[in-house]
Structure 1
Amino acid sequence: MTTPLPGTGTLFTLDPAVAHLNHGSYGAVPVPVQRAQARLRAEQERDPDGFFADLPDRIARARAEVASALGGDPARLALLTNVTEGVAVVLESIPLAAGDEILVTDHGYGAVTRAAERRAAETGAAVRCVRLSPHLADEHAVRERVLAAVTRRTRVAVLDLVTSPTARVIAAPTLLAALAERRVTTVVDAAHAPGMLPVDLGGAAGGADFWVGNLHKWAFAPRAAAVLAVRAAWRPRVRPLMLSWEHDRGFPGRVEWRGTCDYTPWLAAPAGFALLEKLGAERVRAHNEQLAAHGQRQLVERTGLRPLPATAGLAMRAVRLPPGVAESEHAAKALMVAVQRRLSTRIAIRPWPGGGVLRISAQLYNRPDEYTRLADGLAHLITR
């Protein structure tokens, strides 16, 4: 059974009366990073004029540290608030015309899919959604289904690296390479990658044309912090959602600067990576993966629920709820509320035809018995 890593018992300020098994949604900021951000905010309030006057250069330095942690060139990256914003920027920057198609999957994050639909409506393009069974065996099966949906009209593919509802890999390197051969522009929603997986952006955007990852989930940054990596050919075309005084400086400054906003999450993000490195990134990842696997086993063995295929290295796991349970948005939210109120546990449930999908996460603050209690209580809730 997974045991807590030494020295991590006081890293977080979460309510001990609640089992927080949903780190994948909002993350949790460790105490040292909270303090780093608090110092930045205090500095800002002592001299707002001076703080904002130096901000573009300080953001650039923070970006350089983030780039170093992710194996990328700071000139290829831009800091943003979250993946949803990043995808909106990307879709605004890609020219589309009537008859073009944007490819998505039914495992995609809802707000990202809606952004693709809005962009399609504005340009006369269409969104083609690839239906992927949650039980597809491996990345090869996923790749074949996605490629089978590509047509001569497909211009863009917006794909998750790790899916939010089902915790599996879609935008694997082999799929991205195959799409590049077909001249499809690739946009990777890597919301869960930084911190949870080793990331090496290298000379390209993680093998994609555009790659967007959150830093406030698994990389211990404050909310809201994310990074956008852009392939060289696209950087001059990146169009921010609003103009700023930094617009004429080009990418990445034109994307990052948005006037009077709270930039302290970005400036504190390097502290999150530093803490992860101090703890031992590989050790943290191994601990979290083993704990998530334990949690999935508890749910399967104690409730009889069907496990969804797991990907090595991920700190999230999912199980399939019975037919008739959480098949609508309303029902999924109602079950999450019931689990929170009656079991004092936070989880994620996504509606799905034929039975919703329940996702758990594992982080340093979690304990094995929390998953056992969830499994025992859930068995009662879904059979009432």
Structure 2
Amino acid sequence: MAPRALWSLDEDVCFLNHGSFGATPRSVMAAQRRFQDQLEAEPVRFFVRELPGLVRGAAAEIAAFVGADPEGLVFVDNATTGVNAVLASVRLPRDAVVLCLSHVYNAVAQSLHHHGGRGGWRVVHVNLPRAPLTEIGVLSAFDAALARHKPSLVVVDHIVSAAGVVLPIDALVRRAKATGARVLVDAAHTPGQARLNVRELGADWVVGNLHKWLFAPKGAAFLAVAPDQRAELHPTVISHGYRQGLAAEFDFTGTRDVSAWLAAPAGLAFWRSLGGEALMAANQAQARRFRQRLVEAVPGAVAACEEAMVGAMAAIVLPPAFGEPSFARALALHDRLFDEFGVEVPVSFLDGALWLRVSAQAYVEDADLERLITALGQLLR
């Protein structure tokens, strides 16, 4: 546990949704502010003389943490921005098959359909088994889809968003690469929640948010690129550095505030101050306790996955008593939990069911979960 006062969180809100946007500690926000002050003290000096070295220095620290080549790691605002940079740059023949999972993050799904429509690709969703998910079930469905569709590009999640499930990413990447497909890993939730070594993973591209579980300010994420994919990759905004190398293209795309990138190492330092990998283990243990408690307390609830696939988030499939599953129903439940009970927790519509996901974190207490359980009971009265 860490004092909640280390964050700026509203004391009146039961905040069980660290997973959506993270929560930036006060000390990291102060570090970001110092970079903003440095910029405004002399903007020309900052952008022209200081910024290139500052960005590369911060990128080197993050690259070391995620096991990536610093020359192949660049900052982006969020994982979705990184995904779009890849999809806008990758060259695939018309009628190429692009494979993703049925649990793909919606923004990524929309990006795939946009770029796929422009490129004439066929986007195929791998239908994962219904809850509870198992590693064997996920790999079996994935293997069958690879054999049937022979994709040119595979977009695969490490930790799926709505269900909060940690997938066997090493096996997924290895099996996709064995077919000759290129692989983009959406590791939006990975840094700070689960171990990641980009080199060992062997994917062509890996995107990950730093503002979720690694405590960086909002708008900090990375895109790691394999050496043979760097020449054709460009940012979504083309600027002065076009075709001058990965860093030149991505590090400066025009006048903007990149203090979140520069303060990302401060987020990493804060994560380490809370124990680093010990914090990851504590969050996982808390999430597993929460998962079990929710299944016991909510009649008819089904755990999202087997225990081995739980990271720092735990989800359940809500029973029919909560209403006919739909996007509108999910939004209504989410809003009622917040408006009537002060509980911030995501409710999603996925695979024809309503999913509720809780996030563990250093500032979360068991009493927070009990407040949610009480609220769920009230909704069923």
Aligned partner (choices 61, 66, 85) of residue 62 of structure 2: 66
Runs of 4+ in 1 over 4 A off after TM superposition: none
1:1-384 alignment runs, 5 A limit = 4-5=1-2, 8-53=3-48, 54-150=50-146, 151=148, 153-170=150-167, 172-202=169-199, 206-304=201-299, 305-309=301-305, 310-312=307-309, 314-323=311-320, 325=323, 327-381=325-379, 383-384=380-381
Deviates more, 1:242-251 or 1:186-195: 242-251
CA distance, structure 1, for counterparts of residue 62 and residue 324 of structure 2: 39
Instruction: Flag the 1:326–1:48 CA change in 2: closer, same or farther, 3 A.
Output: farther
Question: Does the 8 A contact of 1:89 with 1:241 survive in 2?
Answer: yes
Deviates more, 1:311-320 or 1:187-196: 311-320
How far does residue 71 in structure 1 lie from its aligned partner after superposition?
2.1
CA distance, structure 2, for counterparts of residue 284 and residue 359 of structure 1: 20
Question: Does the 8 A contact of 2:166 with 2:309 survive in 1?
Answer: no
Question: Does the 8 A contact of 1:212 with 1:229 survive in 2?
Answer: yes
Q: CA RMSD in A?
A: 1.7
Q: Percent identity?
A: 34
How far does residue 312 in structure 1 lie from its aligned partner after superposition?
5.0
Instruction: Flag the 1:311–1:348 CA change in 2: closer, same or farther, 3 A.
Output: farther
CA distance, structure 2, for counterparts of residue 194 and residue 56 of structure 1: 24
Question: Does the 8 A contact of 1:299 with 1:372 survive in 2?
Answer: no
How far does residue 74 in structure 1 lie from its aligned partner after superposition?
0.6
CA distance, structure 1, for counterparts of residue 165 and residue 105 of structure 2: 13
Question: Does the 8 A contact of 1:82 with 1:225 survive in 2?
Answer: yes
1:261-290 Cα offsets, whole Å, 9 max, x none, are 110000000011111122211221122112
CA distance, structure 2, for counterparts of residue 354 and residue 126 of structure 1: 23
Task: Report SS of the residue matched to 2:53.
Answer: helix
CA distance, structure 2, for counterparts of residue 115 and residue 137 of structure 1: 25
Instruction: Flag the 1:368–1:96 CA change in 2: closer, same or farther, 3 A.
Output: same
- The amino acid across from 1:256 in the alignment is D
Task: Report SS of the residue matched to 1:376.
Answer: helix
Structure 1-normalised TM-score? 0.94
- The amino acid across from 2:45 in the alignment is G
CA distance, structure 1, for counterparts of residue 9 and residue 90 of structure 2: 41
CA distance, structure 2, for counterparts of residue 174 and residue 289 of structure 1: 21
- The amino acid across from 1:265 in the alignment is A
- The amino acid across from 2:303 in the alignment is P
Question: Does the 8 A contact of 1:120 with 1:127 survive in 2?
Answer: yes
Question: Does the 8 A contact of 1:168 with 1:311 survive in 2?
Answer: no
CA distance, structure 2, for counterparts of residue 236 and residue 354 of structure 1: 41
How far does residue 10 in structure 1 lie from its aligned partner after superposition?
2.6
Deviates more, 1:321-330 or 1:355-364: 321-330
CA distance, structure 2, for counterparts of residue 130 and residue 20 of structure 1: 33
Task: Report SS of the residue matched to 1:237.
Answer: coil
CA distance, structure 1, for counterparts of residue 323 and residue 62 of structure 2: 42
Q: How many matched pairs?
A: 376
1:116-141 Cα offsets, whole Å, 9 max, x none, are 11111101111111111242542222
- The amino acid across from 1:339 in the alignment is L
CA distance, structure 2, for counterparts of residue 254 and residue 134 of structure 1: 42
Instruction: Flag the 1:224–1:311 CA change in 2: closer, same or farther, 3 A.
Output: farther
Question: Does the 8 A contact of 2:132 with 2:302 survive in 1?
Answer: no
CA distance, structure 2, for counterparts of residue 38 and residue 136 of structure 1: 44
Instruction: Flag the 1:326–1:276 CA change in 2: closer, same or farther, 3 A.
Output: farther
CA distance, structure 1, for counterparts of residue 364 and residue 206 of structure 2: 29
How far does residue 253 in structure 1 lie from its aligned partner after superposition?
2.6
How far does residue 242 in structure 1 lie from its aligned partner after superposition?
2.1
Question: Does the 8 A contact of 1:326 with 1:335 survive in 2?
Answer: no
How far does residue 209 in structure 1 lie from its aligned partner after superposition?
1.0
Task: Report SS of the residue matched to 1:319.
Answer: strand
Structure 2: segments with no counterpart, 5+ residues:
none
CA distance, structure 2, for counterparts of residue 356 and residue 179 of structure 1: 30
CA distance, structure 2, for counterparts of residue 134 and residue 36 of structure 1: 44
- The amino acid across from 2:142 in the alignment is V
How far does residue 294 in structure 1 lie from its aligned partner after superposition?
2.3
Task: Report SS of the residue matched to 2:357.
Answer: strand
